Amino acid sequence: MARTRVAPDFAVRRDTARCINCKACVRLCANGVHVWDEVAGAPVADESKCVGCHFCEEHCPTRALSIERAPAETTSGGHWTRSAIRGIGRQAETGGILLGAMGNDRPQMAYFDRLVLNAAQVTNPSIDPLREPMELKTFIGSRPDRIEIARGAGGRPRLGAPLPPLLEIETPIMFSAMSYGSISLNACRSLAGAAGEIGTCWNTGEGGLHPDLESCADRAIVQVASGRFGVTPEYLARAAAIEIKVGQGAKPGIGGHLPGGKVTEDVSRTRRIPVGSDAISPAPHHDIYSIEDLKQLIFALKEATRYSKPVGVKIAAVHNVASIAIGIVHAGADFIAIDGIRGGTGAAPSVIRDHVGIPIELALASVDQRLREEGLRHRVSIIAAGGIRSSADVLKAIALGADAVYIATAALVALGCHVCRTCYLGKCNWGIATQDPALTRRLNPEVGQTRAANLLRAWSHEIKEMLGGMGVNAIESVRGNRDHLRGVGLSQVELDLLGIKHAGSPW
């Protein structure tokens, strides 16, 4: 039987009139796409190796290269799409699971694009954020049911009981969990530095805290995941907050797997596992099979850190997310991070990434609504994650009920990522999702920090502009206030789930 050939995804176009045979593309491409042809005395491309990261295109000194999607080699249609046909071709060749990285990119999942924000006109005048103070400061954590006032010396009033610890951030945008190992140390340095510069938080992911990042630990949310990689009393003590990772939007219900090839000496020290061994996070925490078990872990982490920092739980957005959230609040969590179906990853089975879970917009609205109905909303902060692409997405998420958002893919794009979706190969030409020293050097952490901080600054400015236009001067006023939103082209069921009216409806 003839072997089926899977045609390349990308076509490498080289303008020979512009090419000066400098060999930069041959030297730079970690995937080995460009090779020097001695006979021709010119570079040639092996298109089957191209992942579409566009690194060569952007670094060719004469702009002789362009990387384009290859034309479909089969007649694809609305149902038998190009990716379905290619996926079958690859699986017929390898017999393996198809892997993917970054988030689900299916257009039907983007409810943010069907939501519009309000603006003030005439009776509720808008505010000029350049002249008036505009507050984005956000506190993450649990609020008490009531504040007890006692009488101190001289009858002066004082707090009768200490308040739960709160995480204070200057803008409601934080960097989501990305472990050292899945991304390079320079990428971690960039994000950690930017979080410190702006006054927000970054997240270690489940990879432990590298010694070089300890100086940024006061702005770190540290994860405790099922693999417990790098979790020590010092790790917990240094953090600003602790996050128990139960689920992830890109791969709900399954664990994680960092291939041994990415577990370098440095990664092994940080994760406290042998060099070259696969870092496997089991799908469940083997000590959590009930809300009671989760409560014990939250209690243990709070005891270990003397109740000095918020302890939260990260879950994937799934069908019964609101009920799960209620259980998490009763277990004593100070915040819940909900990661929607568009959440990013360094590696996940594509079939799970694309078909398991629900969009963050629907999950967020239902959790916020349910917590309000149960009188529990003040007991917990909600962090929304999974496909946040712009300041408008941030503000819409907050109007749907989030206290703050996590961004990951957007942060990596700020560092140079071109969303080629092959992070799992460990050959990221942009020096982000790789541990290859020759590649990681390509990302200058100072430049990365500036770019990531600029992104947060720009989005924060835009949020202030939108708030001013809405006639409000504090992000707090928009939180869970769905009157600021209207839906466009959504069914009544979708509108009801989101808790909003259709565009054109009056107050």
Nearest to ligand SF4 of 417, 500 (CB atom)? 417
Pairing of strands 279-281, 256-258: antiparallel
CB 327: neighbour CB atoms within 10 A? 16
CB 339: neighbour CB atoms within 10 A? 32
Helix runs in 336-444, H state only: 350-355, 360-373, 391-399, 409-415, 437-440
Q: Which of 10, 12, 25, 208 binds ligand SF4 (CB under 6 A)?
A: 25
Tokens of 373: 């109905």
428 counts as binding ligand SF4 under rule CB under 6 A: yes
CA angle 386, 197, 174 (to 5 degrees): 15
101 counts as binding ligand SF4 under rule CB under 6 A: yes
How distant is the alpha carbon of residue 122 from its chain centre? Answer: 39
102 counts as binding ligand SF4 under rule CB under 6 A: yes
The structure tokens 């979790």 sit at 231
- Among the listed ranges 15-23, 88-96, 110-118, 325-333, the one in contact with ligand SF4 (CB under 6 A) is 15-23
Q: How many residues bind ligand SF4 (CB under 6 A)?
A: 29
Name, in order, each residue with C-beta under 8 angstroms of 493's C-beta and a sequence gap of 6 or more: none
User: At its nearest, how many Å lie between ligand SF4 and the CB of residue 381?
Assistant: 29
Q: Which of 86, 314, 342, 418 binds ligand SF4 (CB under 6 A)?
A: 418
27 counts as binding ligand SF4 under rule CB under 6 A: no
User: At its nearest, how many Å lie between ligand SF4 and the CB of residue 28?
Assistant: 8
Name, in order, each residue with C-beta under 8 angstroms of 219's C-beta and a sequence gap of 6 or more: 192, 195, 196, 199, 200, 201, 202, 240
The site map against ligand SF4 for 362-401 (x = CB under 6 A) is ----------------------------------------
272 in helix, strand or coil? coil
The site map against ligand SF4 for 429-468 (x = CB under 6 A) is -x-xx-----------------------------------
421 counts as binding ligand SF4 under rule CB under 6 A: yes
DSSP state of 60: -
The site map against ligand SF4 for 50-89 (x = CB under 6 A) is ---x------xxx-xx------------------------
423 counts as binding ligand SF4 under rule CB under 6 A: yes
Pairing of strands 115-117, 99-100: unpaired
Nearest to ligand SF4 of 216, 412 (CB atom)? 412
19 counts as binding ligand SF4 under rule CB under 6 A: yes
CA angle 143, 144, 149 (to 5 degrees): 125
Asked whether the beta carbons of 409 and 103 are under 8 A apart, the reply is yes
- Among the listed ranges 90-98, 280-288, 370-378, 424-432, the one in contact with ligand SF4 (CB under 6 A) is 424-432
- Among the listed ranges 192-200, 277-285, 363-371, 423-431, the one in contact with ligand SF4 (CB under 6 A) is 423-431
| Residue burial 234-246, b: 16+ Cβ < 10 Å; e: rest | ebbebbbbbbbbb
Q: Which of 420, 453, 497, 498 binds ligand SF4 (CB under 6 A)?
A: 420
- Residues of the shown chain interacting with ligand SF4 in the complex, contacts defined by CB under 6 A: 14, 19-25, 43, 53, 60-62, 64-65, 101-102, 412, 417-423, 428, 430, 432-433
